[in-house]
Amino acid sequence: LRAMLAKILADITPGDLKYSFFTNSGTESVEAALKLAKMYSDRTTFISTTRSFHGKSLGSLSGTAKGMFRKPFLPLIPGFRHVPFGDIDMMRKTFETCALVGEDVAAVLLEPIQGEGGIILPPENYLKEVRALCDEYDAILIFDEVQTGMGRTGEMFASELYDVVPDILCLAKAFGGGVMPAGAVVAKEKVFSSFFDNPFMHTTTFGGNPLACAAAIATINVLIEEQLPNRAKELGEYFLAGLKKAAEKHGDKVLEIRGQGLMIGIEFHQDKIGYALSKGMFDEGILVAGTLVNSKTIRIEPPLTISAEEVDQVISTFEKVLNELNHQ
Q: Would you say residue 327 has pLDDT above 70? A: no
Domain end, chosen from 192, 225, 258, is at 225
CATH assignment at residue 11: 3.40.640.10
Per-residue pLDDT at 149: 98
Do 270 and 160 lie in one domain? The reply is no
CB distance 86 to 120 below 8 Å = yes
Do 25 and 101 lie in one domain? The reply is yes
Do 117 and 15 lie in one domain? The reply is yes
CATH assignment at residue 288: 3.90.1150.10
Do 58 and 159 lie in one domain? The reply is yes
Per-residue pLDDT at 328: 61
Do 204 and 270 lie in one domain? The reply is no
Per-residue pLDDT at 184: 98
Do 200 and 296 lie in one domain? The reply is no
Do 211 and 197 lie in one domain? The reply is yes
Do 301 and 165 lie in one domain? The reply is no
In the chain, the amino acid numbered 69 is F
pLDDT tens digits along 216-271: 999 999 999 999 999 999 999 999 999 999 999 999 999 999 999 999 999 999 98
Do 98 and 193 lie in one domain? The reply is yes
In the chain, the amino acid numbered 257 is I
Domain end, chosen from 199, 225, 251, is at 225
Q: By residue range, what is the domain housing residue 263?
A: 228-326
Do 300 and 152 lie in one domain? The reply is no
Q: Where does the chain have alpha helices with state H?
A: 2-12, 26-40, 58-63, 67-70, 88-100, 126-136, 158-161, 189-192, 210-225, 228-246, 271-283, 308-326
pTM: 0.96
Structural domains in the chain (count): 2
Core vs surface per residue 202-240: b (16+ CB within 10 A) or e:
beeeebbbeebbbbbbebbeebeeeebbebbbebbeebb
% of the chain with per-residue pLDDT over 90:
94
CB distance 192 to 140 below 8 Å = no
pLDDT tens digits along 90-147: 999 999 999 999 999 999 999 999 999 999 999 999 999 999 999 999 999 999 999 9
Do 213 and 264 lie in one domain? The reply is no
Domain end, chosen from 177, 195, 225, is at 225
CB distance 152 to 263 below 8 Å = yes
Do 148 and 234 lie in one domain? The reply is no
